Homo-oligomer: A and B are copies of this chain.
């Protein structure tokens, strides 16, 4: 009879992938383990249909997961595209989750780094094969368009997970496992045999978000698993399915490799009876990873003292438009960044700072209003075809976002109004709203206006635009910044100003690269230097503080 592969065999199976990931992290040039084209040539002729069928088969029933339900199952996900999912999940009990995690913890902590990496990499490989199913799950919980849901919810999330495993591997490998220490001392030599044990912090609580449930959770999940922590995943109540699928696959791989499946547990909850606070305050929790609202992020910062907290909240992402070497290409690029997933990305621009006197472009000097009109026209053009508009904009995850769009219409002069997408049926949709405001009106643009809402901010000149944009990034937080400029001195000042403000900067993007995108193995996501969050995907801090080394020395 065929035995399932051991964890060590899984490591050997995926060792080359890990080594390539480590090399990519060193070089920081483009690399990806998981193809991001939803192509039948790559994923198989029937992959798309199979993924959709698997998704349809899940609808209207209990999600198949081997965790006990403490009371009636829960779940009320409704697709922003209009479909009621009707899937239910086990109702968790905090103490039962923690007890199960504790029972599972010791074997996982004491497994070899190779065994844990092998299991983590096998989970990622299987998730990759399930990318079409995950794409449907992400699409119908977040409202993303299908291609984006496939890419961001599937391969790009998997790449970020792999990146975390590789970073964890690098940190675990920093010290030798043992060494002989010999100190000359006069006529004698003092000799000790030393070992270093990597001790995980304990139970990792991962609190997911409603817009990028897998992309934002995988780094925390896979970093935690790789260094030996067991994980409890608390998804957003509106986006449970993508993480339930992830947990199911993780548990299957764990069980096959001979481990306790409770090393990864799902803890779904409801908006009426949320459990994140109770879980986060449980003394058994060693790390908390949170992606979501600034309000809950602040609550966690104020209240979680016993565990290491990693956060990604939100910022007000600036664009400084000082000049355009290619006006049309700039506007097309910005139009896409503003429209993509209807501005519901933490990386989407919100505040476009433009000199009142206008800017120099390849088409001559353009006034503030001309620049504004060109951007609006580029959005109209991008979204002219209804099918393309749906694919780019997706649907609106939360009804509150539509209300916010309506409210923000009053904040200034409307340059381009928001409207539902044509031919979108029951879907909840909205195209970008562009509002022109004066630079002094920080009350309008100085906070995050989540959704398809952007401000065209009339500044005295380019220097004031840069100064305001950088100051606001530092004070209110920013996850991205963009700059269009031609003066190299100004560009150099902007690089320094945004870097000091902790805002990763994209300069003069045109064509098919967008400020919203954050590439695994190359870009660092969130700097930790401004209020947008304290956790960087994926730097040494993100993995190294999930465990600590302890020295053991013994007389030789």
Contact = CB atoms under 8 A, between A and B. Distances in A.
Interface of A: 26-30, 109-110, 171, 174-176, 179-183, 185, 188, 190, 192, 194-197, 199, 201, 301-302, 305, 495-496, 498-500, 502-513, 519, 522-524, 527-529, 536, 539-541, 544-545, 548-555
Q: How many copies of the chain does the oligomer comprise?
A: 2
A551 B524 contact: yes
Given A194-B28, A522-B179, A548 B552 contact: no
The secondary structure that dominates the A interface is mixed
A536 B552 contact: no
A197 B499 contact: yes
B512 A529 contact: no
B507 A553 contact: yes
Highest count of chain B CB atoms <10 Å: which of A30, A301, A495:
A30
A506 B201 contact: no
A548 B553 contact: no
Contacts of A109: 500
Contact of A550 (B192, B502, B510, B544): B502
12 contacts: A27-B176, A29-B181, A495-B552, A499-B550, A504-B550, A506-B552, A510-B555, A524-B551, A527-B548, A528-B548, A536-B548, A541-B548
B499 A183 contact: no
A43 B541 CA distance: 40
Contacts of A182: 29-30
Contacts of A544: 539-541, 544
A194 to B, nearest CB: 7
Given A183-B30, A539-B544, A544-B540, A523 B551 contact: yes
Given A28-B175, A190-B513, A301-B305, A550 B523 contact: no
A32 to B, nearest CB: 8
Contacts of A519: 181, 183
A305 B545 CA distance: 18
Contacts of A540: 171, 174, 540-541, 544
A250 B185 CA distance: 31
A504 B552 CA distance: 6
Contacts of A192: 513
A176 B544 CA distance: 20
Contacts of A495: 195, 197, 552
A548 B181 contact: no
Nearest to A515: B553
Contacts of A513: 190, 192, 553, 555
Given A199-B529, A527-B548, A508 B554 contact: yes
A550 B503 contact: yes
A434 B195 CA distance: 32
Contacts of A498: 550, 552
